[in-house]
Amino acid sequence: MAKLKKKIALIFGITGQDGSYLAELLLNKNYIIHGVKRRSSSANTERIDHLFDSVNFDNKNIFIHYGDISDGTSTLNIINKIKPDEIYNLAAQSHVRVSFDIPEYTADITALGALRILESIRILNLKKTKYYQASSSEMYGLVKNKNSLNELTPFHPRSIYGVSKVFAYHTAVHYREAYGIFASNGILFNHESPRRGPTFVTKKIVQGLTRIQKGIQKKLTLGNLYAIRDWGHAKDYAVSMWKILQYKKPDDWVIATNKENTVKSFINSVAKKLSMNIKWKGKGLYERGVDQNSGKIIIDIDKKHFRPSEVDFLKGNYSKARKYLKWKPSITTEKLIDDMIEAELSKFD
């Protein structure tokens, strides 16, 4: 019997949180994976090193290339060399707060980077290559109608990160309409995991409170406690990326849990699971979280962690993905928190 040809996927952003889960998923689906990592002065492959362990994965199926989506020539060369069936563009300067400090760089990577990949597909005339764009709920920004957000809700971004993602979103739609490229957007709401970068709020909270509980950190300093987010698990969201590219036609999809939580309620849930009892005192910049066991302030607020303009509310309606992709989140926020705490505590074993 003739062997089925393995599908080839190229992942920009493979060293990030989502890239690592997606690579795991695709390896388990028998893909050949090519990943692009950028040059860095210190190691940036911590999240994917385990994929090269031949006991669990066949490491003949994964290849890493140096590249950078700020560099159009190398981007085109890599795509030309591999001619992948599927390209996942997960590469970005992905931190919203940081995009206020480095707006031009953020736009170069997060907006123009997507253009460079799509232009490469067009120039190389790769008719069969499908493209996934990592779009973001941050594109909604200023939300007027607080019903859950869907594929038809207008965008009003509140950061250059969000503006850049709107550019990349429309660029994908444009290459689809103008050149017939199979280009799809996954509009993913916040998703977290033990592999989340340490400066995003969920990881910062879980890491901070576990360290405080272990006596190696005194205080956790945060910003806006009242922002509302829809937090899912990155492992679930990687499945949605793959499903989006397997759908019969290119389209745009909201991926979310449809559950809302404030930053403060996330802190309270983590604290409870760590058997910590936090009492909140004061208001605004003077709000404090006091550990009832020690009587010490363990959480305070610093205005440096606030953004000049904030996205106050995010809750996504993923009905379209549920109906047509048969995707729904399988990991609850409670389980997400358990996973993140377990991973932090294991560092003390």
Binding site for ligand F7E (CB under 6 A): 94, 96-97, 136-138, 189-190, 199-201, 204, 222-224, 227, 229, 263, 305, 307, 310
C-alpha of 27 from chain center: 19
Measured from the CB of residue 339, what is the shortest distance to ligand F7E in angstroms? 16
Which residues fall within 8 angstroms of residue 17, CB to CB, at 6 or more apart? 47, 193, 195, 196, 197, 234
68 binds ligand NAP, rule: CB under 6 A: yes
Which residues fall within 8 angstroms of residue 282, CB to CB, at 6 or more apart? 288
Question: C-alpha distances in angstroms, 195 versus 135, 190, 198, 199, 307?
Answer: 20, 14, 9, 12, 24
* Binding partner of residue 310 among ligand NAP, ligand F7E, none, CB cut-off 5 to 8 Å per kind: ligand F7E
Binding range to ligand NAP, per CB under 6 A, among 1-9, 85-93, 299-307, 324-332: 85-93
* H or E segment to which residue 112 belongs: none
Pick between residue 12 and residue 31 the one whose CB is nearest to ligand NAP: 12
* H or E segment to which residue 281 belongs: strand 278-281
Binding range to ligand NAP, per CB under 6 A, among 9-17, 142-150, 283-291, 303-311: 9-17
* Binding partner of residue 90 among ligand F7E, ligand NAP, none, CB cut-off 5 to 8 Å per kind: ligand NAP
Measured from the CB of residue 149, what is the shortest distance to ligand F7E in angstroms? 11
d(CA 92, CA 130): 19
194 binds ligand NAP, rule: CB under 6 A: no
Neighbours of 178 (CB within 10 A): 9
220 binds ligand NAP, rule: CB under 6 A: no
| Binding-site member from 8, 9, 10, 15 for ligand NAP (CB under 6 A) | 15
CA angle, residues 143, 102, 133, in degrees to nearest 5: 55
13 binds ligand NAP, rule: CB under 6 A: yes
* Binding partner of residue 256 among ligand F7E, ligand NAP, none, CB cut-off 5 to 8 Å per kind: none
* Binding partner of residue 97 among ligand F7E, ligand NAP, none, CB cut-off 5 to 8 Å per kind: ligand F7E
Measured from the CB of residue 349, what is the shortest distance to ligand NAP in angstroms? 25
Instruction: With CB under 6 A as the rule, give the number of residues binding ligand NAP.
Output: 26
Q: What 3-state class would DSSP assign to 121?
A: helix
188 binds ligand NAP, rule: CB under 6 A: yes
DSSP classification of residue 286: G
Question: C-alpha distances in angstroms, 47 versus 14, 15, 21, 283, 342?
Answer: 9, 6, 9, 38, 17
Give first-to-last CA distance, the chain, whole Å.
50
| CB of 206 closer than 8 Å to CB of 341 | yes
| Binding-site member from 64, 94, 289, 299 for ligand NAP (CB under 6 A) | 94
* Binding partner of residue 305 among ligand NAP, ligand F7E, none, CB cut-off 5 to 8 Å per kind: ligand F7E
Pick between residue 179 and residue 312 the one whose CB is nearest to ligand F7E: 312
CA angle, residues 55, 347, 292, in degrees to nearest 5: 150
d(CA 270, CA 231): 14
69 binds ligand NAP, rule: CB under 6 A: yes
183 binds ligand NAP, rule: CB under 6 A: no
Nearest-CB residue for ligand F7E: 227
Question: C-alpha distances in angstroms, 58 versus 22, 140, 174, 345?
Answer: 15, 40, 37, 30
Strand partners, 113: none
Pick between residue 10 and residue 139 the one whose CB is nearest to ligand F7E: 139
Measured from the CB of residue 286, what is the shortest distance to ligand NAP in angstroms? 30
Binding-site ranges for ligand NAP (CB under 6 A): 12-13, 15-19, 36, 38, 40, 44, 68-70, 90-94, 109, 134, 136, 188, 190-191, 197
